[in-house]
Amino acid sequence: MDESNNTIHKIEFEDDKRYDLVDVFVDDSFKALNKSEKQEFVDRFGGKVMGNVRSRIYHSDTSDKIWVYFKYTDGKMAAEPKTLDKGWKIK
């Protein structure tokens, strides 16, 4: 996603058989952002990724739950979906 100023390194499905688990790998520059900047980033791009997966894979708009995880390129978690709420929790 060019809009991310190259912060997003790659996006891939966690498993070839499950398209509801998506990993968004972010560059190490994400670590330098403060917590509110990180939250704004994951809210913005997490929603875009979910919408894209729903429209391309499931051909629906809101009924299918998509779990989007933000990870650093080394695989460590940067942000994960909140359990009962919409949005992401910064790690």
pLDDT (0 to 100) of residue 42: 97
pLDDT of residue 91: 93
**What are 25's two structure tokens?**
């790998």
pLDDT at 86: 81
Radius of gyration of the chain (CA): 13
87, 35 Cβ separation under 8 angstroms: no
- Residue 10 has a pLDDT of 95
| Strand pairing report for 77-81 and 67-72 | antiparallel
Tokens describing residue 63: 């009924």
**For residue 40, what are the CA distances in angstroms to 14, 53, 73?**
23, 20, 20
Tens-level pLDDT at each residue, the chain (91 residues): 568 888 999 999 988 888 889 999 999 999 999 999 999 999 999 999 988 888 887 665 555 678 999 999 999 999 999 987 689 999 9
